[in-house]
Amino acid sequence: MNKNLLSDRWKNPYLLLLGIIILSAIPFPIVDHLHKSLSSEIDRSSYLLFHNITEFFSIVVSLSIFGVCWFTYERSKDNHSLFLGTSFLAIGLLDFMHTLAYSGMSDLVTPNSANKSTQFWLVARFFNASIFLASAFIYSKNRHSWLTKANLLLAVLCFVGATFVAIIFFPSYLPATSIDGIGLTQFKKVGEYTIILILSFATIAYWKRWLQTGESVILYYLAAFILCIFGESVLSVYHSVFDEYNVLGHIYKVLSFCIIYKGTFVTSINRPYDQIIETNLKLQEKMLEQERAEEKILQSLREKETLIRELYHRTKNTLQIVRSMIVLQAADFPTNEELQVVVKKTEDRIQAISLVHQMLYATQDLSRISVKQYINQLFSLILDSFAVPKGKVTLNEDVEDRFFLIDTIIPIGLILNELITNSLKYAFPRERNGIINISLSQGGPQQNFSLHYSDNGIGFPEDFDFRNQYTLGLKLVYGIGELQMQGRVVINNDKGFNFLLEFPDNLYRARV
């Protein structure tokens, strides 16, 4: 988002920079004409006021650049802005010394002079240009051991302190930059040309960086460098610190600093927020994609659920058809009692399986049903099947309300169907009322399930061997309990009929 910030405002950055160059060049002939037309310097008191206003404005901008880059670094982690911003602390302090050392101001420790203030100016501009050039090779995410806040601050303060001591206390060791009555020295002019050359190199370096990265914020720096070059060009030809060229040079400086402040503000303040906005937009887009994907998945699940419910419904109907066909076929042999018994048992077994599919069709979970609800419904169906009078046989169930997979509930249903059927047929003769007890719990070291079944019927003879019987019912009970459910079956004849099935919890896994 930030990458095309300026490109969105100005469609052609080349025209933008060309326009800045043209606008910066226009004041030159105007000031030159004024300088030739006016035979005297600008009033010193008026110029001093102008100079102080522009310099203090530049100082405030420099310190603002430092503050913005310094205090937002923890969030932005922009090493380029940190390097440039900390350097502007030195520029602001040097400009402050230049302002206080200006001719006409109260003495700064030693007598003020044009040479003294110009020396501070030249050092500040040389440092400024060098920093611009160096910063072109420092990128936002560069990691250097020396590029830390503490190191940069220490280097800046040491440089500013050394400059202050050298110019204030050892001026004789430094080359003169301005001589009263003569104007700028050759050293000052060469120094300005050197600064212009460094700024030109910085402009070229940033131009190449812009072509490589496309970072639109670089256009701010390029515009500022152009203004700095024009400003230094003006200040290399003035004759007095109070003439028109000096005024124009300070105006260029103020404008360039404002543009640099804008650039650092964009990178340190706006860019993190732009990145947050861009990230939020991407997150919103991903969320929309995820919502669309979830909707497709939900639609697919709904279709799958509908299909599975239809499958359960058809399975139940198919079982009922098979059951009806068996009953119809058996009706052709009404006198064959043995056949009628087999058909009745088969019918009950089919009904036990069909009940599972009926309950699955009616529940939200397509793979599990409540074992408690299933046992109660199965018991009622078997009572209705045998036309047992109401109240003659009651169910006393103590079943934990658990949900079992279809693979587990069908074997349990087949076993209970055999047990309940046998109790109704043999345990309660004549008018004897009966009680059937069914319980299901989980416990023990291995957390196995225990299915208990008992009745208070007449029971079996004491010498009755359940395991060695050849009836299909008992074979089903033992076969399902021990082989299919990998459990342990225990049957005894103590005070009626007692049955125990222990089976593991991890027999099957859900498939839907």
pLDDT tens track for 370-412: 889 889 988 988 888 888 888 889 999 999 888 888 888 888 8
Burial of 154 (0-12, 13-18, 19+ CB in 10 A): exposed
CA distance 88 to 66: 6
φ, ψ of residue 125 to 5 degrees: the values are -70, -40
List the structure tokens of 84. Answer: 């440039």
Between residues 125 and 365, the one the model is more confident about = 125
Same domain, 264 and 411: no
CA distance 298 to 283: 22
- Domain boundary residue, one of 259, 289, 319: 289
The mean pLDDT of the chain is 82
* Mean pLDDT computed over 422-444: 86
Which tens digits make up the pLDDT trace of 238-266? 655 556 677 777 788 888 888 888 877 76
* Mean pLDDT computed over 200-209: 92
Q: Flag whether 309 is in a domain.
A: no
Same domain, 285 and 389: no
Q: Flag whether 345 is in a domain.
A: no
Residue 500's pLDDT is 92
Cβ–Cβ under 8 Å, residues 116 and 255: no
Q: Flag whether 307 is in a domain.
A: no
CATH number of the domain residue 406 falls in: 3.30.565.10
Residue 261's pLDDT is 82
Residue 317's pLDDT is 65
pTM (two decimals): 0.54
Residue partners of 35: CB distance under 8 A and separation at least 6: 243, 244, 245
Q: Flag whether 357 is in a domain.
A: no
User: H or E segment at 440?
Assistant: strand 434-443
* Mean pLDDT computed over 128-147: 86
Taking 50 as the threshold, does the pLDDT of residue 8 lie above it?
Answer: no
Residue partners of 4: CB distance under 8 A and separation at least 6: 214, 216
- Supply the range of the domain harboring residue 191: 2-289
CATH number of the domain residue 200 falls in: 1.20.1070
Which tens digits make up the pLDDT trace of 161-179? 999 999 999 988 999 988 8
Same domain, 274 and 412: no
Residue 427's pLDDT is 84
Q: Count of domains in the chain?
A: 2
Paired strand residues for 497: 455
- Domain boundary residue, one of 255, 289, 323: 289
Q: Flag whether 327 is in a domain.
A: no
pLDDT-wise least confident of 258-267, 426-435, 453-462, 482-491: 258-267
Which tens digits make up the pLDDT trace of 11-46? 567 787 788 888 877 876 776 666 555 555 567 777
Q: Work out the percent of the chain whose per-residue pLDDT is above 90.
A: 21
- Domain boundary residue, one of 250, 267, 289: 289
Same domain, 275 and 404: no
Q: Flag whether 351 is in a domain.
A: no
Same domain, 396 and 272: no
Which tens digits make up the pLDDT trace of 341-377? 777 778 777 777 777 767 766 666 667 888 898 899 8
Q: Flag whether 11 is in a domain.
A: yes
Same domain, 82 and 192: yes
Q: Flag whether 365 is in a domain.
A: no
Report CA dihedral (212, 213, 214, 216) to the nearest 10 degrees. -130
Same domain, 422 and 281: no
